[in-house]
């Protein structure tokens, strides 16, 4: 039996990205009185659950491929919302399984061929996971592939951003002191140390060009051996109005949060197996109006899901 009051949001990935986006959408749905469960294997799931009050089910990455689909089916949701991956992160979401489930795909830029190589089978353009699609951003070539699948594609008018005004964690003392100088340049990243080092180098170039500045890293990982301070603070976007510059990667959330401040932000595209960060930056220039739109993409997506549900 389908639960008339539950939407399941499937947000695979060990980092913050998918989980933060799912949380933004989950809060928008909860505001409408719709029950939400986020299913993820993110390392930061309990942190986000504690901050947002959303129900989050964590399935460890080692068992995710064989347990995620069955767990979601056991919830009997009215809709299953798949973030980014129409057939699962590694092909664990066979389109023929559990035909009672109704799907919506949140489509972000995706490199189709590498994804198809990993799922290990031809693209199934008859899959029920492709019948209804919400385009989270301009999709480039990927949009044509989705369109050939014959589903309905609904583009959002504005990016999905985490509603940073909903939580107000205390700013660490050292970070607060740095912000008070009015000279702060933040490196914001939850990725590996090698990428953080590249971002720090870019921040120092910005400070050299300005002839002034102090730098810090904001992210959830503990990093040893840096000669600038590191602070664990979320959401970093709460700080952006108080800084001189921000340097980040070019993932969806980073561009969505910083796209409205192009003079203050610098994005470095990192190589990802599936996420087309370089392509996103190209389209960021071409579709600057979308990224600068101050509208609430999460609320727009929630409105669509409420109608479909």
Give the model confidence (pLDDT) of 36-62 as tens digits: 999 999 999 999 999 999 999 999 999
- Kindly state the average pLDDT of the residues 2-20: 86
Identify the DSSP state of 127: -
Predicted pLDDT at 160? 98
Both tokens of 55, joined, read 């129900």
Percent of the residues in the chain that have a pLDDT greater than 70, as a whole number: 98
d(CA 92, CA 277): 24
Helices assigned H by DSSP within 149-264: 173-180, 193-210, 252-258
pLDDT score of 115 more than 60: yes
* In contact, 199 and 210? CB cutoff 8 Å: no
Q: Which domains does the chain have, with CATH numbers?
A: 6-158+294-308 (3.40.50.2000), 167-292 (3.40.50.2000)
As a whole number of angstroms, the distance between CA 224 and CA 214 comes to 19
> What pLDDT score was predicted for residue 1?
40
- Could you report the per-residue pLDDT of 160-192, keeping only the tens digit for each? 999 999 998 999 999 999 999 999 999 999 989
For the cut 80, the answer to whether the pLDDT of residue 97 exceeds it is no
What pLDDT is recorded for position 303?
A: 97
Report the C-alpha gap between 46 and 168 in whole angstroms: 17
Query: Is the pLDDT score of 3 beyond 80?
Result: no
pLDDT bin (cut points 50, 70, 90) of residue 4 is low
The answer to whether the beta carbons of residues 242 and 179 sit under 8 Å apart is yes
* Rounded to 5°, angle at Cα 85 from 84 and 91: 170
Alpha helices in the chain (DSSP H): 17-30, 45-52, 64-75, 112-119, 141-148, 173-180, 193-210, 252-258, 277-286, 288-292, 297-308
pLDDT at 2 (0 to 100): 45
| Integer Cα distance of 1 and 69 in angstroms | 16
CA dist., res. 4 & res. 272, Å (int): 37
Query: Using 50, 70 and 90 to split pLDDT, how confident is the model at 84?
Result: very high
122 pLDDT above the threshold of 60: yes
Q: Indicate whether 197 pLDDT > 90.
A: yes
Q: What is the pLDDT of residue 51?
A: 93
Read off the pLDDT of residues 199-243 as tens digits, 9 standing for 90 and up. Answer: 999 999 999 988 889 999 999 888 888 889 999 999 999 999 999
Residue 217 vs residues 58, 64, 152: alpha-carbon distances, Å: 28, 31, 41
């Amino acid at each position: 039996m389908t639960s008339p009051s539950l939407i399941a949001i499937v947000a695979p990935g060990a980092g913050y990205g998918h989980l933060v986006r799912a949380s933004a959408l989950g809060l928008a749905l909860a505001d409408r009185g719709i029950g939400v469960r986020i299913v993820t294997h993110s390392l930061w799931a309990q942190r986000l659950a504690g901050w947002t009050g959303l129900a989050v089910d964590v399935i460890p990455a080692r068992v995710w491929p064989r347990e995620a689909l069955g767990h979601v089916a056991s919830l009997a949701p009215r809709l299953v919302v798949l973030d980014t991956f129409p057939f699962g992160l590694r092909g664990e979401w066979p389109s023929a399984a559990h035909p009672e489930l109704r799907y919506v795909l949140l489509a972000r830029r995706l490199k189709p061929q590498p994804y198809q190589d990993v799922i290990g089978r031809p693209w199934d353009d008859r899959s029920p996971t492709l019948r209804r699609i919400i385009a989270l951003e301009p999709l480039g070539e990927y949009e044509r592939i989705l369109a050939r699948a014959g589903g309905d594609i609904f583009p959002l008018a504005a990016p999905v951003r985490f509603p940073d005004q909903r939580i107000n964690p205390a700013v660490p003392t050292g970070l607060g002191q740095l912000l008070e100088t009015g000279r702060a340049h933040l490196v914001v990243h939850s990725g590996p140390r090698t990428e953080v080092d590249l971002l720090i180098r870019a921040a120092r170039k910005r400070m050299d060009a300005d002839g002034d500045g102090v730098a810090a890293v904001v992210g959830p990982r503990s990093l040893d051996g840096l000669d600038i301070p590191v602070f664990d603070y979320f959401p970093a976007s709460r700080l952006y109005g108080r800084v001189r510059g921000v340097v980040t990667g070019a993932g969806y959330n980073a561009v969505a949060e910083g796209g409205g401040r192009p003079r203050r932000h610098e994005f470095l595209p990192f190589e990802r197996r599936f996420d087309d960060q370089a392509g996103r930056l190209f389209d960021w220039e071409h579709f600057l109006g979308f990224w600068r739109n101050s509208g609430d993409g999460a609320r727009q997506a929630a409105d669509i899901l409420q109608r479909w549900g």
